[in-house]
């Protein structure tokens, strides 16, 4: 196992935290964290959460508040906010470097 990778149970905990953070901050009531697949796109016509560009800004602010990470570059934010797993991968790298 690569040294820089998070153990599976820690990664599961992180992805669950991210899903709960998104659902809580965006006041989503029609779906639970358990119903959100880690690889499902968060944005686009088929996303189960029904997120839009305003929600993306809210997610960026929530990540900054909870994990003290910055997504100042809009293109980087687009790459990171693809799915719960892409957010978790970003956080894993950023938190390791703090």
DSSP string, 82-94: TSHHHHHHHHHHH
Task: Assign 9 a pLDDT band (cuts: 50, 70, 90).
Answer: confident
Q: In the predicted model, what is the mean pLDDT of residues 91-97?
A: 90
Name the band, by pLDDT with cuts 50, 70 and 90, for residue 88.
very high
Strand partners, 51: 43
CATH architecture of structural domain 8-96:
Orthogonal Bundle (1.10)
Where exactly are the structural domains of the chain?
8-96
Residue 5 binned pLDDT confidence (cut-offs 50, 70, 90): low
């Amino acid at each position: 196992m690569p040294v820089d990778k998070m153990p599976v149970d820690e990664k599961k905990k992180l992805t669950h935290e991210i899903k709960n953070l998104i659902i809580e901050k965006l006041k989503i009531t029609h779906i639970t964290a358990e119903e959100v697949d880690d690889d499902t796109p968060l944005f686009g016509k088929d996303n189960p959460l029904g997120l839009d560009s305003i929600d993306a800004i809210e997610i960026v602010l929530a990540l900054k508040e909870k994990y003290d990470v910055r997504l100042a570059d809009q293109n980087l934010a687009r790459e990171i906010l693809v799915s719960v797993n892409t957010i978790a991968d970003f956080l894993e790298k950023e938190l390791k470097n703090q």
